[in-house]
Amino acid sequence: MNERALPVVIINTECANLASVANAVKRLGYPALVSDDAGHIERAERVILPGVGSAAAAMRSLQQKQLVHVIQQLQQPLLGICLGMQLLTDYSSEGDVRCLGVIPGQTERLQVAQQQEQTLPLPHMGWNTLQQCHPAQTALRDNDYYYFVHSYAVAVNDYTLASCHYGQTFAAVIGHNNFYGTQFHPERSGAAGARLLQQFLENGQC
């Protein structure tokens, strides 16, 4: 691997379906490298941090790979997906673990109140819409459907670019400086997800 910039690097946390994210990027015409090599990540033009599973296991993997500081110091656009988004916040109650702290916020278990005489199941799994999309984020549209699978979520705060409702309102897209996160899986969200990925790959925003 030479020293020039790598277009897209997907961080290998060993806690994600990396192939589906890589295939989604490649379908949009971008070469993608799955790697846990700090040099590859630092030279990437775009970085994606996917995640499936628990915050504690994912953070332990990043620490063992000595990637925590590498990610925190990145200047190029980074997109966290699902658990990857939660890892961008300060803290997760899933395992009582400190996270990367690059987007202010905390991740807590969803509180799913009883609705219409039924208790909503966890995880929140399936298609749901976004609301209150930030007007500057051209790829996000109110009422577009995206695919979610999660039991923990980030509370809506000043860094929320779009929200979603499932028993409670939570942050579906967050952003701060060069860091962005989506609670849903854009790689599994059809045309709307592809549009968001295209926006990130082309312009470095969601």
Alpha carbon distance 48, 60 (integer Å): 18
Alpha carbon distance 93, 78 (integer Å): 23
Give the CATH number of the domain where residue 140 resides: 3.40.50.880
Residues taking part in catalysis: 82, 185, 187
| Length of the chain as a residue count | 206
- Is 122 domain-assigned? yes
pLDDT confidence of residue 93 = 93
Q: Residue 129: which domain range?
A: 6-203
- Is 138 domain-assigned? yes
Q: Within 13 Å, how many C-alpha atoms sit on residue 50's CB side?
A: 24
- Is 182 domain-assigned? yes
pLDDT confidence of residue 117 = 55
- Is 86 domain-assigned? yes
- Is 76 domain-assigned? yes
Q: Within 13 Å, how many C-alpha atoms sit on residue 20's CB side?
A: 15
Asked if residues 186 and 24 have their Cβ atoms less than 8 Å apart, the reply is yes
Backbone angles phi, psi at 84, to 5 degrees: -60, -35
Asked if residues 18 and 12 have their Cβ atoms less than 8 Å apart, the reply is yes
Q: How many domains does the chain have?
A: 1
The one-letter code for the residue type at 30 is Y
206 residues of the chain, pLDDT tens digit each:
445 678 999 999 887 789 999 999 999 999 999 999 999 999 999 999 998 889 999 999 999 999 999 999 999 999 999 999 999 999 999 999 999 999 999 999 998 765 555 678 888 999 999 987 777 667 888 888 999 999 999 999 999 999 999 988 999 999 999 999 999 999 999 999 999 999 999 999 98
pLDDT confidence of residue 137 = 66
- Is 1 domain-assigned? no
With helix as H, strand as E and coil as C, how does 10-42 read?
EECCCCCCHHHHHHHHHHCCCCEEEECCHHHHH
Backbone angles phi, psi at 115, to 5 degrees: -130, 130
